[in-house]
């Protein structure tokens, strides 16, 4: 991999899918910024990747705050000479009956899942455009395509917005050598899924999946690596559906 395009930032990387994405990118030769609001968790992941810190670092990132993205960008420019791949993975899934979602809860979920992607794409998209190269991968969700079955309406609506933002930023940045794509996973075999969905309900949901299995988070991470590749220049504005057959175009 060329030295000039091998720095990646992954948000929400202290655990779950984000951690797997960070590990896969690091294994593929990227220097990785493990970003999360949980700095201790991010630090543990970064040290696991590279105890010396030469190819992995942790940084605290609250995706609701634009200044945090600006600071992260500046840090990576100082430490590693720039950044070339952004993975917007940070998210917050809440389960709530539709008519019981409060305005405050709606705003809180949208702020993390949608506003955070918007701010990240603004800050890093502009930097990528200036350098004439960049890869943005947004982690969306099947819920944003179908309205969701095991998640709240606020989460589903936010993820639907991520798919639209992906297209908007892809169109804006394409001429500057920057691609912007989304991946929409279905239910994944991850701790957060088991924590948020009762076991009996999760078993019932699994039986509705055509493949009769939860998705492999490692494969989602592999797809991120593929979209992050310098060779992926013709893939932009796309949404890759990886959902066990639950949603087919």
Query: Within 10 Å of residue 62's Cβ, how many Cβ atoms?
Result: 17
Q: Give 188's DSSP letter.
A: B
- C-beta neighbour count of 245 within 10 angstroms: 11
The separation between the first and the last C-alpha atoms of the chain, rounded to the nearest angstrom, is: 34
Alpha carbon distance 126, 51 (integer Å): 32
Report helix, strand or coil for 211. Answer: coil
By annotation, the residues acting in catalysis are: 155
Q: Decide if 24 contacts 223 (C-beta within 8 A).
A: no
Listing DSSP states for 46-98 in one string gives HHHH-TTSSSEEEEE--TT-HHHHHHHHHHHHHHHS---EEEE---------G
Measured distance CA(85)–CA(135) in Å, rounded: 5
């Amino acid at each position: 991999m060329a030295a000039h395009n091998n720095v990646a930032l992954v948000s929400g990387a202290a655990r779950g899918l984000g951690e797997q994405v960070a590990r896969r990118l690091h294994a593929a030769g990227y220097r990785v910024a493990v970003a999360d609001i949980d700095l201790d968790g991010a630090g543990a992941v970064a040290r696991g990747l590279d105890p010396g810190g030469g190819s992995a670092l942790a940084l605290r990132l609250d995706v609701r705050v634009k200044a945090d993205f600006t600071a992260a960008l500046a840090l990576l420019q100082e430490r590693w000479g720039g950044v070339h791949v952004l993975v917007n993975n940070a998210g917050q899934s809440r389960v709530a009956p539709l008519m019981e979602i409060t305005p405050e809860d709606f705003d809180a979920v949208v702020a993390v899942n949608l506003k955070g992607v918007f701010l990240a794409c603004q800050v890093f998209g502009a930097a990528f455009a200036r350098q004439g190269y960049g890869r943005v991968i947004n982690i969306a969700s099947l819920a944003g395509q179908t309205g969701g079955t095991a998640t709240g309406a606020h989460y589903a609506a936010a993820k639907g917005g991520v798919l639209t933002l992906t297209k908007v930023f892809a169109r804006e940045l394409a001429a500057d050598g920057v691609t912007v794509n989304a991946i929409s996973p279905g239910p994944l075999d991850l701790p957060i899924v088991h924590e948020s969905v009762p076991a009996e309900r999760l078993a019932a949901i699994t039986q509705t999946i055509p493949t009769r299995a939860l998705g492999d988070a490692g494969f989602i991470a592999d797809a991120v690596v593929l979209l992050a590749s310098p060779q992926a220049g013709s893939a932009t504005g796309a949404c890759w559906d990886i959902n066990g057959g639950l949603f087919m175009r």
